[in-house]
A and B are shown apart, each in its own frame.
Chain A
Amino acid sequence: MANPSLALLQDLSSIENPKLIEWDWISDNFWEDIVPAIQGHIFLSFVSVALALAISLPTGVLVSRYRKAYPPVTFVTGLLYSIPSLALFGILISIPGITIGPTPVIIALVAYSLLILIRNTVAGLDAVPAETIDAARGMGLTERQILFRVELPLALPVIVAGIRIATVTIIGIATIGAYIAGGGLGKMIFDGINRSFPTMIITGAVLATVLAIVADLSLLGLERYLRPWARKRKT
């Protein structure tokens, strides 16, 4: 016997306990919402890592030459690194002239990468054996040539290791940037929480996690590829 009030009751209970994953929503919104969110997230992370590298590489080279500047540089970048991201976003959007949007998010993401990238650049340059540099000098290479042809290529695996850590960190923090309208996958998480719609929360969170792990593993692959001497020799 069909009982309309019972049917209504079931409907209500399904509203109260929505399914964890509604695959229909995912297929309906795949191209309009999900793909652009992934692209936005990659864009934010990529731009931030690129800008951070543009600052950190020259700074790292300079600091490895003028050793006295290294402790203050690590102090300042370390201080930036230890400020929780939501707090740094809050401080940035309080500055007059900076409004919510991708700009403060990118500034914060760059700030977070500096410590790791500068530290690894210096560590990589430090690990270049002195006799290698002497040999290069003996062959008549100028200081500039030594830097670009000997030191930086040898330091590259350590620098890439830094890029890897920075990228994974940045992909994670970029999700929080959605709170101040930075876009990306975090927006799906926040929208899902605000609408009490688990499908959106889970989709955003899982995709952000997958993105971070994929970036981590592929940069690890690059790091190993750049360190041919550490690979097993086939004999």
Chain B
Amino acid sequence: MSGILDVFKRPDFFELLRQHILLSAAALLIGIAIALPVALAIRNTSLGAALAVNIGNIGRAVPSLAILALCQPFLGFGFDTALVALTALAIPPILINASTGLREVRRDIIDAARGMGHSGSQVLTRIQLPIAAPVIFAGIRTSAVQVVASATLATFIGGGGLGELIVEGTQLNDTTILLAGSFSVAVLAIITEVGFGALEKAMTPKGLKIAQKRGR
């Protein structure tokens, strides 16, 4: 067990951790920056929404290793290639959730807001977005966890990250390095899951929480 702690004290451990987090965070942010505006743009067209959900569903079926590997012949080895692949992985869950979340805001609530004199953009920012927020953040959480997990595979296409420790441990047949890499990746994934779960809760408007407690 002390051997594993020694791996964490290695100077390159911090660098690999930094790469892993940077890669995941960048992919998630770019993914949000692409998926959210698209979901907003298509929120009022049923064809667009059906298209987004179907493309998103197919995108979710594509194995993460396949996306990373497919980018390699076209973009070469390195951090940037991994970033492109992980961004592609980050988009589908956010797109599906944001699109369905916005569309599932009840029609009568929107009508009531209109009747109170809200403009189109006010309906969006004061009604639709707050009500859809928990669903949107659930999508972001799914996406974040998936990106952090898949960033482990970035090492296979030269993208760095904590996966390198797992590869090093496997190649040297060194259980200590292997376990150090595996545990750190697992802990990072669980922290992401729990952290974004808390964010999801924090982003649920108070009114919705009360409604959930009352059982609607």
Task: Identify which of A2-10, A46-54, A83-91, A148-156 touches chain B.
Answer: A83-91
- Whether the pair A175, B152 counts as a contact (CB closer than 8 A) is no
Complex CA distance for A228 and B50, rounded to whole angstroms: 23
Q: Is B169 an interface residue (CB 8 A)?
A: yes
Number of interface residues of A (CB under 8 A): 37
Complex CA distance for A193 and B166, rounded to whole angstroms: 17
Q: A64 → chain B, closest Cβ, in Å?
A: 20
Number of interface residues of B (CB under 8 A): 38
Residues from chain A with Cβ under 8 Å of B149 in the complex:
82, 84-85
Query: Which residue from chain A places its CB closest to the CB of B60 in the assembled complex?
Result: A168
Q: A85 → chain B, closest Cβ, in Å?
A: 7
The majority secondary structure among interface residues of chain A is helix
Q: Is A107 an interface residue (CB 8 A)?
A: no
Q: Is B193 an interface residue (CB 8 A)?
A: yes
- Whether the pair B65, A198 counts as a contact (CB closer than 8 A) is no
Residues from chain A with Cβ under 8 Å of B157 in the complex:
193
A-B contact sample (18 more), CB < 8 A, given A85-B152, A179-B170: A82-B186, A82-B193, A84-B149, A86-B163, A87-B189, A90-B182, A172-B64, A172-B66, A175-B66, A176-B153, A193-B156, A202-B73, A204-B69, A205-B67, A208-B65, A212-B62, A216-B57, A216-B61
Q: 29 interchain pairs (CB within 8 A)?
A: A20-B73, A20-B74, A79-B190, A82-B186, A82-B190, A82-B193, A83-B189, A84-B152, A86-B182, A87-B182, A87-B185, A87-B189, A91-B182, A91-B183, A94-B175, A94-B179, A171-B63, A172-B63, A186-B65, A189-B66, A193-B157, A198-B72, A201-B69, A202-B73, A204-B66, A205-B65, A209-B63, A216-B57, A216-B58
